[in-house]
Structure 1
Amino acid sequence: MRHAYDDAELLALVRRYVTPGRRYLKLGDSVLRMPSPEYDRFVQALGEDARLITPDEIAILLEGGWRERRTAAWLIAVGRRTDFRERLGELLLASEVCCAGSAYCVALAGFGTPRDADLLAAYLDRYLRRPDLAYDQTVAMGALVFTALNLGGDQAARFLGPDGMWEQWLHDAPHMPCTVDPAICLSPIRRLCAFVDECAETK
């Protein structure tokens, strides 16, 4: 992992893309509560940066900490940089840092192909077996359900149902309520993907 405090190349990218206006903190659910005209400026700036950032710069940000990775994932999502699909899947599965997994899930859901569904399912296959870990299971489930609905497939079906891994994880995870309807997980993903689309459409 690269650290901005001793890496001039990474620090320059952090100052350009990550920290202006504390962007890294606003990416996620909080952007949905942002008032206008702040929201409009945020959408415009994120869309512009997603077009301007180079693949090499994205790759460098993905080597940083959670702030850099989270921001990079959102720029990937808005910029439709599907060439980073496999890298996002690797980072999601590794779960090395906090606060970035939801951004990977939003990007994969936004791409919305069967391969993206496979990557989300691989994460759930691993982490629904870990009720001791409160990582990104709920957002990954929402992303998979969203992707499956758009594909018209049943990629999420094997996790759901009375004897599925989802119900078992909810039952065994001490930090979770006994039941969480996957539809509740779907709603924020749907709204965040709509936000991505709005940013992508800015000129």
Structure 2
Amino acid sequence: MLTIEDNDSSNGTFVNGKPIKTSLLVDGDIIRFDIVEFLVVESKPPSVEDEKATIMATAEEVQLEKDRQIREKQQAEDRQRVAQQAAEREQAEQERQAKVAAEKAEQEKAAKAQAEKEQAEQERQAKVAAEKAEQEKAAKAQAEKEQAEQERQAKVAAEKAEQEKAAKPRLRKSRLSRSVRPG
């Protein structure tokens, strides 16, 4: 036998939709507290077969629970292993990217050094070419100066030769005129 009593609750206690202060409950009664309802079910003492079935069901439930826990543990280990593998792959990818970046930086450094070396060589060659052009210009100026000097000397020599040539015939004429005199 089951009895229910309301302890002056603010929302009241109801049995089968009627407010109560105290009531005996029987199989099938509906109890309501505020908006929550409960069904009263009479319980009979279990028979031996029921107890065996309950024990078997409990054993099966225990085994099922153990199996579920093992599966959950395996799934957790699998998730952890997958996460670890993903982390290792990510780490390897980051290391690869860092290596690629380092190689690229090294290549850029080498290319910059090569470009600087080539620029220095071009500047050296330009300086050598400028010096050579300056030397050629100086040599040309010297050659022109020497040629002008030679031309001046040739002109002076030609003038001197012309003067000498002009002076020689007079001498000859005057010698001839002395030796031919009748006399």
**TM-score w.r.t. length of structure 2:** 0.15
The structure that is strand-richer by fraction is 2
Higher Rg of the two aligned structures: 2
Select the structure with the greater relative contact order (CA < 8 A; seq sep ≥ 6): 1
